[in-house]
Amino acid sequence: MAEEYPKEELQKIYEALPEDLKKALFSDKTADDIHDVCVENDIEEKNLELAKYVGHVLLGLLSPDELEKTLKEKLTIADESAKKISQEITHIVFFPLKTSLEPLYKIKIVSPLPPETAEPAKELPKEELPIEQAPKKRTGKDTYREPIE
């Protein structure tokens, strides 16, 4: 569960973080993503509190697995809303940082939401695969190359 931490302790923790987590903590994109989730879930008045708990996850103080429970208890959000918000934050904020967050918490982070625009890779039928062609024989003067002396 997330607690209150002295600024000096938070500074020490911050300095030991991987660079991508440091950037994410103060990133405009992270702030915008949190704001968008708040607007979408009609909890704009709790934007700063949500940002604080997302920050605690990025600092290594609150496991991503505990975010939903923390939202229910600390922000007094209904179970379904807390679950949805937690999933969205995990998908948008934590999943792109999973290479740094997974070792920090010793957990596996998977996106709980399906990718919005991802399409499965299509395989070309064998007859449509490009065939390598032999280079065409050049005719005339090569205007690109300089003469060799």
Residue ranges of the domains in the chain? Answer: 19-105
d(CA 112, CA 79): 16
Q: Is the pLDDT of residue 11 over 80?
A: yes
What tokens appear for 112 in the block?
């709980």
**pLDDT tens column, 85-132:** 999 999 999 999 988 888 888 777 776 666 554 444 444 444 544 555
d(CA 136, CA 149): 26
pTM confidence score? 0.70
**pLDDT tens column, 30-79:** 999 999 999 999 999 999 999 999 999 999 999 999 999 999 999 999 99
pLDDT at residue 5 in the model: 80
